Structure 1
Amino acid sequence: MNIMVVDDEQDIRLLFKQKFRKEIRQNKLEFSFVFSAEDALTCINKQESHLILILADINMPGMNGLELLKIIKENYPEIKVFMVTAYGDDYNYQTAIKYGADDYLTKPIKFENLKEKISELL
């Protein structure tokens, strides 16, 4: 399963590689990392048929994650999108649901819960 992580924090790559080390080694999951919503759209256009899940941060410079979510769901409705935020406010949650988010996670990410949610998609 190919998962794209969209977050402006560069250290997110190391964190995900540590938390999903076993799944990556067993070729169950493959992660790609992009650091802006604009870069995510470019990558989605190139690999859309292989992409199953996007984990997108909401607060990023430039285009935010909610804007990215809206574009993805309008153009690639088959891709699952989990929104991730450090701010669990009601406005972002309601907007994410309105735009079609498949899940809404708050930071710090509970990786055991995330693994369960990903397993349900497999």
Structure 2
Amino acid sequence: MEETRPIVAVVDDDPRLLESLEELLESAGYKACCLRSAEHLLARGLSDLDLLITDIGMPGMNGFDLRDIVNKARPELPVFLVTGRHEIADQGRARGISGFFRKPFDAPALLIAIGDALQKSRNGG
């Protein structure tokens, strides 16, 4: 029986970032679900996700608002926020997130953080 791969959703309005993160996640053994807006993610649904990575600054719903909706619907789901705008990163709005990364981020560090968050989530913590 094949073990199911964890599903990591990535929400970002930058198609190049989505493509590179999809390649990184798939190469690390995850199933990547890449979407260009928070609205697309919510329309798709959250029930089968194991982790969410979302950009903060996007047209329409931003990453903080998406995080708030996800935290209400699936409080156990790990959420990582990413941003290229360092002034936002420095605001420290860390409530309800599992990780915070500034673009460009270090791929090995991101994969370690994802693995840690998934392990913690599986262990009920």
TM-score normalised by L of structure 2: 0.80
Match of 1:85 in 2: 83
Aligned-residue RMSD, C-alpha:
1.8
Which structure shows the higher helix fraction? 1
Residues 116 and 91 (structure 1), Cα distance of their counterparts in 2 relative to 1, 3 Å cut:
closer
Please state how far the C-alpha of 1:92 moved relative to its aligned partner.
6.4
TM-score normalised by L of structure 1: 0.82
Residues 33 and 59 (structure 1), Cα distance of their counterparts in 2 relative to 1, 3 Å cut:
same
Match of 2:107 in 1: 111
Percent identity, aligned pairs only, is 28
Extract structure 1 runs of 4+ deviating beyond 3 A. Answer: 90-93
Match of 1:33 in 2: 34
1:52-94 Cα distance to aligned partner (Å, 9 max, x none): 1100000000111111001110111011100000123267643
Residues 90 and 70 (structure 1), Cα distance of their counterparts in 2 relative to 1, 3 Å cut:
same
Residues 21 and 81 (structure 1), Cα distance of their counterparts in 2 relative to 1, 3 Å cut:
closer
Please state how far the C-alpha of 1:9 moved relative to its aligned partner.
0.8
Query: Using CA pairs below 8 Å that are at least 6 residues apart, which structure has the higher relative contact order?
Result: 1
Match of 1:2 in 2: 7
Match of 2:20 in 1: 15
In structure 2, distance between residues paired with 1:111 and 1:53: 16
The count of residues paired between Structure 1 and Structure 2 equals 113
